[in-house]
Amino acid sequence: MHCPGNKIDAIRCNQLLDVSEKLIDNQGVVSFRFAQIAKGAECSTNTLYKYFESKEDVLVCLFLRNTTSSRMPDFIKDNPYLTIHERAVLPLLFTFELVKRSPIFNILRVVSINSMFWQLASPEKIAILRNRVNLFWSCIRNPLEDAVAAGELHANEQEVKDLTQMLYFFLAGATSSYQSGLMDEKYLSPDATDGLRHISRLMNRYQWRSPITQEMMQDLSQRVQQFLDHGDGKQRTCETCLATGKAVSCSRIEI
């Protein structure tokens, strides 16, 4: 299904997604039914099918409008003097904050990237999802490449690739494990400083001119919290999603 092409369609689409999110909050991802969206939005099923082919389309779109890559650019604009070290850890810290504030985001992430699920969505939604997943990978990798170019990180191409993968896999595993609530504290402490310590250890396995410190990450996390507290970065709309989808990769630091 095609994304909204005008403002009126975008408003209607957002309303349908808002209703869908409430249904998930109340009933869970598995239990809520596609037809309930039309009833909750007080529209016909024909209107619903105008924007979404299936429940899978809806869940993909809900994930897309919540992604870190669609909300982080506003933070970067408001903080133009981020250091290369800060940019290198920002995608992880920003995601941690979003997950803490909106558990539904992490649920949608886990569901949406499951191949048994996303393959049931419409071709256009699949294309946008692929773009967004790869865009987030670039959000992690680009700052590392910039750090190498600036002489702040000594690493070859393979090492940058390895570090990118380690950071992504750590983020995916950490957010899923923390949000599941299944693990005992003897295996997984809910203390946020644990995550910062792990990120620091992963980063500092490589040769940085100056190390990635937990203190720096704590300060950056506080700035992200303040940014979100003040309502910035909360424009979870079709327009924001579409604008983000046009990006080929995350913007780079001026060096």
Following DSSP, what letter does each residue of 182-239 receive, concatenated? -S-TTT----HHHHHHHHHHHHTTSEESS---HHHHHHHHHHHHHHHHTTTT---SHH
Let me know if residue 145 belongs to a domain: yes
- Tell me the pLDDT of the chain (255 aa) as tens digits: 677 778 888 888 989 999 998 998 888 888 888 999 999 999 989 999 999 999 999 999 888 887 887 788 889 999 999 999 999 999 999 998 888 887 777 788 878 878 888 898 999 999 988 988 899 999 999 999 999 999 999 999 999 999 999 999 999 888 776 666 666 766 656 566 788 999 999 999 999 999 999 999 999 999 999 998 886 545 667 777 666 655 545 655 443
Question: What helix, strand, coil percent values describe the chain, rounded to 5?
Answer: 70, 0, 30
> What pLDDT, on a 0 to 100 scale, did the predictor assign at position 3?
78
Instruction: State how many domains the chain has.
Output: 2
Asked whether residue 40 falls in the same domain as residue 71, the answer is no
> What pLDDT, on a 0 to 100 scale, did the predictor assign at position 167?
96
Let me know if residue 2 belongs to a domain: no
Let me know if residue 1 belongs to a domain: no
> What pLDDT, on a 0 to 100 scale, did the predictor assign at position 93?
95
Let me know if residue 251 belongs to a domain: no
Asked whether residue 154 falls in the same domain as residue 185, the answer is yes
Let me know if residue 253 belongs to a domain: no
Asked whether residue 133 falls in the same domain as residue 212, the answer is yes
CATH code, 116:
1.10.357
Q: Measured between alpha carbons, how far is 117 from 125 in angstroms, rounded to an integer? A: 12
Domain limits for position 163: 60-245
pTM (2 decimals)? 0.85
Let me know if residue 160 belongs to a domain: yes
Domain final position from 54, 72, 93: 54
Phi, psi angle pair for 153, to nearest 5°:
-135, 130
Asked whether residue 150 falls in the same domain as residue 96, the answer is yes
Helix (H) or strand (E) holding 55: helix 55-66
Let me know if residue 254 belongs to a domain: no
Q: How many CB atoms lie within 10 A of CB 221?
A: 20
According to DSSP, residue 6 is labeled S
> What pLDDT, on a 0 to 100 scale, did the predictor assign at position 255?
37
> What pLDDT, on a 0 to 100 scale, did the predictor assign at position 253?
45
Give the chain's mean pLDDT. Answer: 85
Asked whether residue 98 falls in the same domain as residue 224, the answer is yes
CB 175 within 8 A of CB 68: no
Q: What is the pLDDT of residues 109-139, one digit of tens each?
A: 878 878 888 898 999 999 988 988 899 999 9
CATH code, 23:
1.10.10.60
Tokens found for residue 222: 């506080």
Helix (H) or strand (E) holding 86: helix 84-101
Q: How many CB atoms lie within 10 A of CB 82?
A: 16
Asked whether residue 118 falls in the same domain as residue 208, the answer is yes
Asked whether residue 37 falls in the same domain as residue 67, the answer is no
Residue 116 amino acid letter: M
Least Cα distance to 232 among 14, 15, 79 occurs for: 79
Let me know if residue 252 belongs to a domain: no
Asked whether residue 75 falls in the same domain as residue 90, the answer is yes
Asked whether residue 107 falls in the same domain as residue 33, the answer is no
Asked whether residue 92 falls in the same domain as residue 206, the answer is yes
Asked whether residue 86 falls in the same domain as residue 186, the answer is yes
Q: How many CB atoms lie within 10 A of CB 248?
A: 8
Q: Measured between alpha carbons, how far is 146 from 32 in angstroms, rounded to an integer? A: 44
Asked whether residue 37 falls in the same domain as residue 95, the answer is no
